[in-house]
């Protein structure tokens, strides 16, 4: 009887294990994305990675619009001054190359990232062992600074064309973290699936999200994953890019849920937009932004915050009006019938000024949107691009970014536990080859 019970228990255990495996799928590399609100730039999603031998835990901002992994070294006193000056202070552990047996400098003085011209940065390209949950990458190339006044380090997951060395001409393009995971055999496709949890919450308490590599989690989205190509910025007509600078997708229309037939984009013309986890707001060209503001009759321009661009203040009740949801429709430049609409709820369109501008309060609200030219000016970045869709838009969708195939697949995001699902590996042929 005892042995029979054991056999029955083992049989049940194996059945449960098989069922659990079918639900969750194999383990794939992933990172937890943790939101931190910061007065001077609204906030960002941070990740913890481990670098070096023995491993050192480093906290970086996840940025789909950057392409380097960027560490501050223990020599970087400029960083310490900058991060300590933030509200709240956001200083993270510094990378100490002197204690790592796997550190190697390969590009002395060659890492000088042009971060929108806002912050000077000087450092070197190095190779190091990099650990993230589910993967260890040996001799990964990254940048290490000894003087950088930007208050955060960065985990960039974008295209090689925008690596700092490629932009400045100081260092050649190199295989990214995601490319290395493919060449090492850890994953089959160069994909990063980004889910920022659409659960209703105020910006200072956004729940954690996830970056999943080489796989999709079917429990975190609903509907079909629609695949769209990366395009050249400001191209006319808009065209696919064989060597993208960024995650530029074609935005065909922006409408409100109250007036779904009225396109807020100027002349109803499509534009290209950067998909960017490193930016909290969204920005439209001036000619389209005025139409957005006009859709909020209660909006009042506020130019009183020194050092911050003018913003449009609205009553906080606008956050609760379902008619203020915005519908962003992304389209294929060659076939408008291939499209996906990202519905952004009003509480993501309108934020408390406490989470938008230094000195703001919880009882005053504003549009979490800016006019492109007013914010980015006429510098290189401002002239090259025309629109950005940041966290406030990205939270509403599930994004599978495939740098190898230069295409993004998008579906409506759902909260964890909302529906059953499983983790499925993306094959070499990309999301289009998935059998869900």
* Exposure letters 109-131 (e unless 16+ CB within 10 A, then b): ebbbbbbeeeeebebbbbbbbbb
How far is residue 338 from each of residues 303, 335, 341, measured CA to CA in Å? 41, 6, 11
- pLDDT tens for 138-159 read 999 999 999 988 899 999 999 9
Q: Which two tokens stand for residue 300?
A: 């009042």
What is the mean pLDDT of the segment spanning 306-314? 84
Q: Which two tokens stand for residue 311?
A: 């913003």
CA–CA gap between residue 24 and residue 225 (Å, rounded) = 19
Per-residue pLDDT at 25 exceeds 60: no
385, 405, 66, 426: which is closest to 240 by C-alpha?
A: 405
Q: In what order do the strands lie in the sheet with 326-332?
A: 335-344, 326-332, 248-256, 271-275, 388-389, 282-284, 369-371
- Which percentage of the chain shows pLDDT scores above 70? 92
CB atoms within 10 A of CB 257: 16
Per-residue pLDDT at 369 exceeds 80: yes
pLDDT at 53: 98
**Taking all residues of the chain, what is their mean pLDDT, rounded to a whole number?**
90
Model confidence at 2, in pLDDT bands (50, 70, 90)? very low
What is the mean pLDDT of the segment spanning 24-31? 76
Q: Which pTM does this prediction carry? A: 0.91
CA–CA gap between residue 326 and residue 333 (Å, rounded) = 21
- pLDDT tens for 379-414 read 777 888 999 999 999 999 999 999 999 999 999 999
Beta carbons of 394 and 255 less than 8 angstroms apart: no
pLDDT at 14: 33
Tell me the β-bridge partners of 309. none
Tell me the β-bridge partners of 331. 250, 339
Q: Who wins on pLDDT, 304 or 371?
A: 371
Instruction: Print the SS3 string covering 73-116.
Output: ECCCHHHHHHHHCCCCCCCCCCECHHHCCCCEEEEEEEECCCEC
What is the mean pLDDT of the segment spanning 195-200? 98
Alpha helices in 170-277 (DSSP H): 177-183
CA–CA gap between residue 191 and residue 396 (Å, rounded) = 19
Domains of the chain in sequence order: 30-186 (2.40.70.10), 215-433 (2.40.70.10)
212, 129, 237: which is closest to 409 by C-alpha?
A: 212
């Amino acid at each position: 009887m005892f042995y029979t019970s054991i056999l029955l228990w083992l049989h049940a255990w194996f059945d449960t294990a098989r069922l659990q495996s079918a639900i969750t799928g194999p383990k794939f590399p992933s990172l937890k994305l943790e939101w931190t609100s910061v007065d001077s730039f609204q906030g960002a999603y941070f990740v913890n990675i481990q670098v070096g031998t023995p491993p050192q835990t480093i906290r970086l901002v996840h940025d789909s619009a950057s392409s380097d992994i960027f560490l501050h070294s223990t020599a970087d006193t400029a960083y310490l001054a900058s991060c300590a000056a933030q509200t709240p202070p956001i200083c993270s552990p510094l990378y100490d190359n002197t204690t790592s047996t796997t550190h190697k400098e390969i590009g002395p003085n060659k890492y000088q990232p042009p971060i929108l011209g806002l912050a000077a940065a000087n450092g070197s390209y190095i190779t190091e062992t990099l650990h993230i949950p589910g993967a260890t990458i040996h001799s990964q190339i990254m940048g290490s600074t000894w003087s950088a006044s930007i208050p955060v380090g960065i985990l960039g997951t974008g295209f090689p064309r925008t690596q700092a060395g490629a932009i400045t001409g100081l260092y050649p393009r190199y295989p990214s973290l995601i490319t290395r995971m493919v060449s090492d055999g850890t994953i089959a496709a160069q994909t990063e699936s980004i889910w920022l949890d659409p659960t209703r919450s105020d910006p200072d308490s956004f729940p954690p999200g996830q970056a999943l590599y080489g796989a999709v989690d079917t429990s975190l989205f609903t509907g079909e994953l629609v695949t769209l190509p990366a395009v050249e910025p400001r191209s006319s007509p808009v065209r696919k890019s064989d060597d993208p600078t960024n995650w530029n997708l074609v935005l065909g229309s922006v409408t409100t849920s109250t007036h779904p037939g009225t396109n807020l984009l100027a002349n109803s013309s499509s534009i290209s937009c950067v998909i960017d986890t490193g930016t909290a707001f969204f920005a439209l060209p001036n000619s389209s932004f005025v139409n957005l503001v006009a859709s909020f009759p209660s909006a009042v321009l506020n130019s009183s915050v020194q050092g911050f661009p003018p913003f449009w203040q609205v009553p906080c009740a606008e956050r609760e009006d379902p008619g203020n949801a915005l519908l962003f429709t992304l389209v294929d430049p060659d076939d408008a019938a291939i499209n996906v609409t990202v519905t952004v709820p009003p509480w993501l369109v309108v934020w408390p000024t406490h989470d938008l501008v230094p000195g703001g309060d919880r009882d005053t609200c504003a549009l979490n949107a800016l006019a492109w030219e007013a914010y980015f000016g006429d510098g290189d970045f401002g002239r090259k691009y025309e629109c950005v869709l940041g966290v406030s838009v990205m939270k509403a969708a599930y994004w599978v970014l495939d740098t190898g195939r230069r295409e993004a697949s998008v579906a409506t995001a759902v909260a964890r536990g909302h529906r059953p699902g499983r983790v499925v590996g993306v094959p070499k042929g990309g999301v289009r080859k998935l059998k869900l």
